[in-house]
Structure formats: structure tokens, C-alpha cells
């Protein structure tokens, strides 16, 4: 996952006020409550409500895509992004006799 993708996920997490871990049900519940607050048909058809609803929809789309493809915690670790593939693998499985090169 790239840094740009992580930043989008973190922005969506902040918009929805989610913790470091969240279930799909929690994400859907938060999305529905924000939709009721900002949907132009319910909260008034103002520019602010339309813009906020677009942000909510985009954040929800990002979170659903993340949940479908990954099962990692919603914590950004800048050090992990600097690792190349082999360093990442060794940081997780390097000491395991089955996976290590030893």
C-alpha cells in the first residue's frame, strides 16, 4: 500500500471518528449516521451539505475498498512504508525457521 493510499484511509478514519480498529458494521453505522446529517434531501440542499456528502461518500468508498482487500489495523506506520519487499518479509518472518533463509 502506498503512502498516498494510507493518507486517504487516515483521512476517512478521521472523518468518521474511527479508532485504530473498526468492524465493517461500525463503518456502515457511522456512514449511515453521517449520511442522515448531511444528505441534501434531509439536511437541506446547500452547497455545504452537498460537499460534505461527497466527502462522506468518498470516505466510505475508501474504507470499503480497504476492508475488502486488507485485514490490517488502521494504524499508519511510516517505518513500514520505507521497507522494501525483502525487508518487510524478514521483519515478519525472518526468525521463523520455516520462512527464514537460515
Domains and CATH numbers, the chain: 3-89 (1.10.287.110)
| pLDDT (average), residues 43-68 | 88
CA–CA separation, 53 and 34 (whole Å) = 8
**Residue, of 64 and 72, whose pLDDT is higher:** 64
Least confident of 8-12, 26-30, 49-53, 69-73: 69-73
In this prediction, residue 30 has a pLDDT band, given cuts at 50, 70 and 90, of very high
**Residue, of 96 and 78, whose pLDDT is higher:** 78
Q: Does residue 94 have a pLDDT over 70?
A: no
Cα-based distances in Å from 77 to 58, 72, 73: 23, 12, 10
Q: What average pLDDT is seen over the chain?
A: 79
Amino acid at each position: 500500500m502506498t503512502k498516498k493510499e494510507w493518507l486517504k484511509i487516515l483521512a476517512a478514519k478521521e472523518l468518521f471518528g474511527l479508532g485504530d480498529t473498526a468492524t465493517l458494521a461500525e463503518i456502515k453505522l457511522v456512514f449511515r449516521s453521517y449520511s442522515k446529517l448531511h444528505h441534501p434531501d434531509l439536511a437541506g440542499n446547500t452547497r455545504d451539505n452537498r460537499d460534505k456528502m461527497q466527502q462522506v461518500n468518498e470516505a466510505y468508498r475508501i474504507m470499503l475498498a480497504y476492508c475488502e482487500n486488507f485485514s490490517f489495523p488502521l494504524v499508519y506506520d511510516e517505518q513500514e512504508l520505507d521497507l522494501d519487499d525483502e525487508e518487510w518479509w524478514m521483519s515478519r518472518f525472518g526468525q521463523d525457521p520455516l520462512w527464514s533463509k537460515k
